[in-house]
Each structure stands twice: as C-alpha cells, then as structure tokens.
Amino acid sequence: MKVPFVHGPNDLRIEEIAPPEAGPRDAVIRVATVGICGSDLNYVALGGLAGPTDRPMPLGHELAGTITQLGAEVAGFSIGERVLLNPTFNFVGNGGTEGGFATELLIRDLAGSPESLLPMPAAMDFDTGALIEPLAVARHGVKRLGAKPGDKVAVFGAGPIGLGAVVSLRQLGIEDVVVFDLSAFRRERALALGARAAFDPRENPPEPALTELHGTDLLYGTIPKPVTTHYLEASGAPVLPEIVEYARFGAIIAVVSIQKKPVTLNLQTMLAKEMTLITSMAYPNELPEVMRMLSESKIDLAPMVSHHFPGDDFMDAFAMAKQQDQAAKVLVHYSH
C-alpha cells in the first residue's frame, strides 16, 4: 500500500509498504476518510515533528474507518466495527511509526490502550467521523477560553480550527462571534457556520471593526477600548501583541494555534488590564464530547469541508490544503 512519508523539510514522498498484520494485542483498521491537518503542513515544512528527523515520518491522524483485524488479547471491539481514531495514543501521524494516509492502519497495543479507538454512532458517516478530531481541538480551546452566552468573542483565523471554534461557540449559545481571516473563501464559511461578521484585517483592522460592532469600554475611565470580552487566536499570525494593546480591562485571550515565531507581549499592559492569557493543546476529554454533540445536535458541517480527494491523489490533496485562500478542510478518501 502507498503511504506518504516526510523525509526532510518540504520533502514529502509516497512510498510503497506492506499492509500491516495485527499482533495479539493490536488491531488493524481499514481507513475510510482522513483529514489533512494544519500540523501535517507544518511537519512537511519543518521536515518532521519539530524539525528534521532521523527516520522518515508517516502522516495522517484525523481519521475514521472499520476494524478488519483484532488480536486475540483485544477485548471490547469487534471485526467490522466503525471507529474513530484517538491519535494521542501511539502518536499516529504525529511522530509515531504509523500514519493514517493509508488503506490500512495498524493500531498498536489496543489491548493496553483501548482509548485509541472510539466506536462511532451507527448514523454517523465517515466524513463526519474524520472531522471530530479537529473539532475536538477547537472545542478544547473554546472551553479553555471560557466564554458564555452574552459574551462577545473575536476569533482570529478561519482555518479548520477557527471554523470548528465557531461551531462550538454557537453550539454553546454564544451568538456574538466575529472572525478575522485574510481569505474571503474562509470568511464566507465562517459566516455560513454562524459567525456574526467576518473581516479581512487588512481592510478592516480589528480594533475599529470590533469597536463598531461591540461598542467601547473606557479603560480607567478615560481610554476607549472595544467591549469584546474574549479573543481566540487560531491563525498562527503574530496578532497577540496588538490584541494585548487594544483589549479591554479583564479581557481573556486563548491561543490554540501553533505560533511559528516568538512574539513579544507587553506584560506591563497586561498587568494594568488584569488580562488572562490561556493556551490550549489537543483534547484531553473532548473527542467523545464532540461525538455526542454531533449525534444530538443538527449541525451542518458542510462549510468546514472544501475538497474531497481519493487516496491515490494524495499529493494533489496536500497541494490544495496548502492553498489557504482556496481551501478549508481537505478530506482524503480510501476504501469504505
């Protein structure tokens, strides 16, 4: 079977490897749908998990599929069961020995880590299953942010995580969500998912745009600042220093993006405003929570997905995922 491997910075190759065989504690799943993640793009750009690696690194971790092999020591699962991958076990596609852009995927030591796979509801399709992982990343970031109905939220970045944040914010009853992104394509999708407004920050700088939408609050009774209560950074752009400067007293900022370069924050300003800066990583408990949310709520996720490609066209899919002005979530399909 053909699997993409990262060999070095911007060196992505498709290689032919043998299909896996499950050991007594393992399982094999037939992969159905895999999403291309922003971290996949970063891994290729860097040449590995955090830079060039001493061995080729396979890609792919946002996926759903069907169990085809089970080791004798594995309990609680069955052949033919439809499942979602939790890639935080065995680091599938994130520096581990397996990657999900393949027709078949070995799940090592499922007997010892049954949380590696989550059974999917019968009515849930594989494409939705593949979206649960990025939605869980966004959900955890939104929970860390702590916004509640009545709060006013600004989301920076309308990539898959930013769009997923809009989904969770609206599902939690937060109606006033404003999105900033350079791509008109992605801004339209943010609006389709329920954002109140979406702006190009080059044409509508955030401070005056938020002031117009949310009104002003006087810092120490004299300095007008946007009333915006919460900021979610999902773009990876160096916007944090500016947010710190124009945010109101007591504003909360959550960072869920990978910051490609160090930024300098004015801690004196943050101190004077009693601001809160929070970071968010992965999804400690959110995979089953998001699965329940999608099962119980009628949420149209179609705007999150921009393109579908067959597995044989993976390199074309990856090239499209890099086009942020034309793509949102790109899904790759293998056998169902």
Segment 74-88 shows an average pLDDT of 97
- Same domain, yes or no: 269 and 306: no
- Same domain, yes or no: 166 and 37: no
- Same domain, yes or no: 15 and 63: yes
Segment 303-315 shows an average pLDDT of 97
Segment 26-30 shows an average pLDDT of 98
Per DSSP, what are the bridge partners of residue 230? 153, 252
Segment 41-65 shows an average pLDDT of 92
Return d(Cα 53, Cα 7) in angstroms, integer: 7
Residue type, 110: L
Q: Is residue 125 part of a domain?
A: no
- Same domain, yes or no: 171 and 270: yes
- At residue 168 the predicted structure's pLDDT band, cuts being 50, 70 and 90, is very high
Contact 201, 180 (CB under 8 A): yes
- Same domain, yes or no: 148 and 112: no
The confidence score (pLDDT) of residue 50 equals: 80
Q: Is residue 254 part of a domain?
A: yes
- At residue 225 the predicted structure's pLDDT band, cuts being 50, 70 and 90, is very high
Per the structure block, which two tokens stand in for 53?
Answer: 């690696």
The confidence score (pLDDT) of residue 37 equals: 95
The confidence score (pLDDT) of residue 68 equals: 98
Return d(Cα 34, Cα 334) in angstroms, integer: 8
Other Cβ atoms within 10 Å of 200 Cβ, number:
14
Inter-axis angle of helices 126-145 and 286-296, to 10 degrees?
120
- Same domain, yes or no: 155 and 110: no
- At residue 336 the predicted structure's pLDDT band, cuts being 50, 70 and 90, is low
Order across the sheet with 11-16: list the strands: 11-16, 2-8, 57-58
The confidence score (pLDDT) of residue 315 equals: 97
- At residue 84 the predicted structure's pLDDT band, cuts being 50, 70 and 90, is very high
Residue 133, pLDDT above cutoff 90: yes
Per the structure block, which two tokens stand in for 113?
Answer: 């880590």
Contact 200, 131 (CB under 8 A): no
Segment 136-161 shows an average pLDDT of 98
- Same domain, yes or no: 252 and 312: no
Residue 327, pLDDT above cutoff 60: yes
> The CATH number of the domain where 228 resides is what?
3.40.50.720
- Same domain, yes or no: 264 and 329: no
- At residue 53 the predicted structure's pLDDT band, cuts being 50, 70 and 90, is confident
Return d(Cα 62, Cα 144) in angstroms, integer: 22
Q: Residue 295: phi, psi to the nearest 5?
A: -75, -35
Per DSSP, what are the bridge partners of residue 232? 155, 254
Contact 141, 280 (CB under 8 A): yes
Segment 60-81 shows an average pLDDT of 98
Return d(Cα 32, Cα 68) in angstroms, integer: 12
Residue 335, pLDDT above cutoff 80: no
Return d(Cα 22, Cα 92) in angstroms, integer: 15
Per the structure block, which two tokens stand in for 12?
Answer: 């992505």
Task: Show the domain range for 202.
Answer: 135-279
Question: Which residues touch 296 (CB under 8 Å, ≥6 apart)?
Answer: none
Segment 224-237 shows an average pLDDT of 97
Q: How many domains does the chain have?
A: 2
- Same domain, yes or no: 57 and 176: no
Return d(Cα 300, Cα 222) in angstroms, integer: 44
Could you report the per-residue pLDDT of 89-126, keeping only the tens digit for each? 989 999 999 999 999 999 999 999 999 999 999 999 99
> The CATH number of the domain where 72 resides is what?
3.90.180.10
Q: Is residue 139 part of a domain?
A: yes
Cα radius of gyration rounded to whole Å, the chain: 21
The confidence score (pLDDT) of residue 51 equals: 79
Decide: helix, strand or coil at residue 280.
Answer: coil
User: Angle at the Cα of 197 (from 322 to 230), degrees rounded to 5?
Assistant: 90
The confidence score (pLDDT) of residue 13 equals: 97
CA-based nearest residue to 286, from 132, 155, 56, 117: 132
Q: Is residue 296 part of a domain?
A: no
Q: Is residue 53 part of a domain?
A: yes
Q: Is residue 289 part of a domain?
A: no
Return d(Cα 167, Cα 171) in angstroms, integer: 6
Mean pLDDT of the chain: 96
